[in-house]
Amino acid sequence: MNVLKDLMDILDDVEKPSRYIGNEYNSIKKSASVRMCMIFPDLYDVGMSHFGVKILYDIINSSDFASCERSYLPWIDMQKAMIEKNISLYSYETYTPINEFDVVGFTLQYELSYPNVLRSLKLGKIPLKREERNNTDPIIIAGGPCTFNPAPMENFIDAFLIGDGEEAAIEMMRAVKRGKTRKERLALLAQINGVYVPEYNSKVEKRIIPEMKKAWAPVDQIIPYTEIVHDRGVIEIMRGCTNGCRFCQAGMIYRPIRERSYGEVFEIASGILRKTGYEELSLLSLSSADHSQINETVSLLKTLKETSLSIPSTRANAFTVELAQAINTVRKSGITIAPEAGTQRLRDVINKGITDDDIFSALKLAKDNGWKRIKLYFMIGLPTETDEDVISIGKMLDRIKKMSFSEVSATIGVFVPKPHTPFEFDEQILPDEAFRRFKLISWAKRFAKLNFTDPEKAVIEGILSRGGKEIGRIIEEAERKDLIFADWDELFNPQGWMEIFDEKGIDVESLMGQKSFKDAFPWDFVNSGISKEYLWSEHQKALRETLTPDCRNGCTGCGVCPKFGVDNIVQKRVTDEQVSHSI
Amino acid sequence: MNRYLIRYKRYGLLRYLSNHENMRMIERLLRRTAVSFKMTEGFHERMRMSFGQALPTGVIDRAGTFVISTEENLDEEFLRIANILAPKSFEMSAIKKVSEDFNIGTAIEGYFFSLIFRERPDLDENWKLKENGKLWIARNFVQFNSPSPRPKDHGQFLTLRDEIVWR
């Protein structure tokens, strides 16, 4: 079946129809014996910006037996139109209803998208719960960072892929090909490293690739017609991060680091430009300024004509400014740094690894080099935080404004402790307390633009990320009550969520409260390679305000490398001469 | 510097592109040809291109046109390669060298539009109506920079920009 003809009848009536038309340049139509549809459970504009989907799309489509198509959750107006015309959620390559695929995969990038997953299944006429599915339904799989606590979604997902997907994705497609029935397929999936099948497995270890092969870097990247959030070519220059910031889940679950060499990055970049026509390239990693060859990489990429470069995720030190300086030769509008906390004491608690000196010398350098606007990121509610720590955020902004930047703006979020981090034992502050702490900074509004993120959203995120199986009922009810697209401010309805927590008897305070080493967590059966003992010792060090160094400078004993028999892959610095030689 | 006028057609699902999306799609397609086109000045360099009149989203375009400049000599072979690199439902049909002072805005007198109906429509006399099998086709001339017909605005199920009328 193919929904294209019906689709043509409704596209004139919806907002931004180009986000639903599919068939973009570089998308792949392929017939294969195993067909998968990968869904990013959010609007196309967001989902198309996501890099993980691009990697797996390419890898599966390069295989000789499996194909991968894509889908996204349509906006409200389109959902209504589809329901009225009885159009199922469809793939963007062949306009096939998603329930005709062998496998439907979701990427779980943020917890607030969980109800979107259920809405996608509903629009695709696939039973929500795994026990309701039979041999004619697709196998529903999920990957992405949220799967490190699969419990909240495990009523709905047949198999989770936890960790790196490059190799496991193909193994999963093969298992589906071999299995004749749903039961056989699930049993085979359960034998794959990194795969958790709730029906068969009681524990799981994350999957890891020892190095990033060049062939895995997506080059023929799909060009959207719609203007999407990140509309540019993307090269992953490094996976993992060695800073060991204690609040950061990505820093823990993506260990160890695996860097690509500058030469390889350049080859991939040239390929992307040739195949896409993109005018901008983005270097992706958790902390690009830490890449051992970032200088070499940037100077080589700058030789690419008529192409601008962007590097998200850098550190709050002078080097970040030097890097920004190297990239932006003309425009000096804004620079972003993330001190995270207002005092050195608290930055030591979270192991941020930067000092006031680092921050202010970076700012001075930015000022001297002509930057006029500064944007900063902070969190409140970090473990051990006192009122003085909070007030210090305001003081810091005051000091920065006095350096005579024309605009200082700060985003202040509420900290959500995440599974598999040293702060998984810590409490999350509730909205009343968050509002009280926000007030301690609001005097800074006189000289800085303050943007406080919603504390109620943080609570919902906290519950969805730290909850167990019982949270499945909440997610189901949230979808039923239309609490989808919760990350979109215009549709965010915190009251609706709070009512569900009440109705379903969720004890928010205890779920958000302090835990100890002895407490069992719903994600204890997921082995990220970092033991709970290590996380606990890091938690204790945090309380003592003791730093743990970057593990590039010596192993800190988290356990990931020996556990999986891998190592940090760090590139060697090279001279300018060698770089220019490689052009 | 050589200036070229290129004519194109855009149909099928690509009719749902907004004017801005259409321009960006064409720019990226031209960048894939690896021909070095004249760029705008400024921080974010864009390709210097001028287009015919913008169309509302949803209109099929058989009379699209734009002008680009390059130091290189372009011919039919360029068009052939560019079409290979084009998305489905987009096709460049002609290339012509134009003078340095060619202005697309003053060169075009207007466009012919066609509206396609499943039933006989009730339209004012400016529209020439023709029965064609089970369909009714209404055709009208629209002066350059006057408002274009919009999808469904007369109850039609398809809206086409058919033809350029040059001055």
Residues whose CB falls within 8 Å of the CB of residue A134, separated by 6 or more in sequence, listed in order: A182
Partner A contacted by B43 (CB < 8 A) = yes
Contact A11 B45 (CB under 8 A): no
What does the block give as tokens for A467? 């909850």
pLDDT of residue A253: 98
pLDDT greater than 90 at residue A324:
no
Q: Give percent above pLDDT 70 in chain A.
A: 98
Residue B89: name the closest of A44, A45, A98, A225 by CA. Answer: A225
Residues A519-552 pLDDT 10s:
999 999 999 999 999 999 999 999 999 999 999 9
Contacts A92 to B, Cβ<8 Å: none
pLDDT of residue A458: 97
Partner A contacted by B94 (CB < 8 A) = no
Mean pLDDT along residues A22-49: 97
CA–CA dist A127, A142 (Å, integer): 16
Contact B44 A23 (CB under 8 A): no
Mean pLDDT along residues A276-285: 94
What angle (nearest 5°) sits at the alpha carbon of residue A204, between those of residues A199 and A210?
135
Contact B17 A18 (CB under 8 A): yes
**DSSP state for residue A370 in the 8-state scheme:** T
Mean pLDDT along residues A320-347: 82
CA–CA dist A441, A394 (Å, integer): 5
Q: How confident is the model at residue A503 (pLDDT cuts 50, 70, 90)?
A: very high
Partner A contacted by B118 (CB < 8 A) = no
CA distance A30 to chain B (A): 16
Residue A233: name the closest of A274, A205, A289, A294 by CA. Answer: A274
**Residue A460 burial (10 A CB sphere; 0-12, 13-18, 19+):** buried
Q: How confident is the model at residue A310 (pLDDT cuts 50, 70, 90)?
A: confident
pLDDT of residue B94: 97
pLDDT of residue A154: 97
Whether B87 contacts B32, CB under 8 Å? no
CA–CA dist A334, A323 (Å, integer): 13
Contacts B36 to A, Cβ<8 Å: 305
pLDDT greater than 60 at residue A329:
no
Contacts B58 to A, Cβ<8 Å: 11-12, 17
Residues A37-56 pLDDT 10s:
999 999 999 999 999 999 99
Minimal Cα distance from B82: which residue of A? A277
In single-letter form, the type of residue at position A282 comes to: S
CA distance A277 to chain B (A): 4
Partner A contacted by B84 (CB < 8 A) = no
pLDDT greater than 90 at residue A319:
no
pLDDT of residue A332: 62
pLDDT of residue A583: 62
Contact A18 B88 (CB under 8 A): no
Contact B25 A225 (CB under 8 A): yes
CA–CA dist B70, B72 (Å, integer): 5
pLDDT of residue A564: 97
Of A11, A25, A331, the CB nearest to B43: A331
CA–CA dist B113, B148 (Å, integer): 8
Residues A260-275 pLDDT 10s:
999 999 999 999 999 9
- Token look-up 């702490």 returns A437
What does the block give as tokens for A47? 């989902």
Task: Count interface pairs A-B at CB distance under 8 A.
Answer: 73
Handedness of CA B150, B156, B157, B163 (dihedral sign): negative
Mean pLDDT along residues A546-567: 95
Residues A384-396 pLDDT 10s:
999 999 999 999 9
In single-letter form, the type of residue at position B142 comes to: V
Minimal Cα distance from B157: which residue of A? A9
Residue B39, CB half-sphere, CA atoms under 13 Å: how many?
14
Residues A81-119 pLDDT 10s:
999 999 999 999 999 999 999 999 999 999 999 999 999
pLDDT of residue A333: 65
pLDDT greater than 90 at residue B92:
yes
Contacts A273 to B, Cβ<8 Å: 31
Strands A258-259 and A280-284: unpaired
Contact B88 A278 (CB under 8 A): no
Contacts A227 to B, Cβ<8 Å: 20-21, 24
pLDDT of residue B40: 87
Enumerate chain A positions whose Cβ falls within 8 A of a Cβ in B: 8, 11-12, 16-18, 20-25, 223, 225-227, 273-279, 305-306, 308, 330-331
Mean pLDDT along residues A542-565: 95
Residue A458: name the closest of A510, A413, A513, A521 by CA. Answer: A413
Mean pLDDT along residues B91-120: 96
For residue A104, give the H/E element and its range.
Answer: strand A103-107
How far CA B60 is from CA of A212, A498, B90, B160, in Å, comes to: 44, 48, 11, 5
Q: How confident is the model at residue A313 (pLDDT cuts 50, 70, 90)?
A: low
pLDDT greater than 90 at residue B3:
yes
Q: How confident is the model at residue A567 (pLDDT cuts 50, 70, 90)?
A: very high
Strands B2-10 and B60-70: antiparallel
Q: Give percent above pLDDT 90 in chain B.
A: 93
Residues B38-77 pLDDT 10s:
988 776 778 999 999 999 999 999 999 999 999 999 999 9
Helix/strand/coil (H/E/C) assignment for every residue in A197-219: CCCCCCCEECECCCCCCHHHCCC
Q: How confident is the model at residue B133 (pLDDT cuts 50, 70, 90)?
A: very high
Q: What is the pTM of this model?
A: 0.96
> Which ranges constitute the DSSP H helices of A334-454?
344-349, 356-368, 387-401, 431-441
Residues A231-261 pLDDT 10s:
999 999 999 999 999 999 999 999 999 999 9
pLDDT of residue A38: 98
Of B28, B42, B151, the CB nearest to A223: B28
Mean pLDDT along residues A64-84: 98
Residues A145-200 pLDDT 10s:
999 999 999 999 999 999 999 999 999 999 999 999 999 999 999 999 999 999 99
CA distance A223 to chain B (A): 8
Specify the long-range contacts of residues A317-320, CB closer than 8 Å, at least 24 apart: A317/A289, A317/A354, A317/A358, A317/A359, A317/A361, A317/A362, A318/A358, A318/A361, A318/A362, A318/A365, A319/A289, A320/A289, A320/A362
Whether A378 contacts A440, CB under 8 Å? no
Partner A contacted by B153 (CB < 8 A) = no
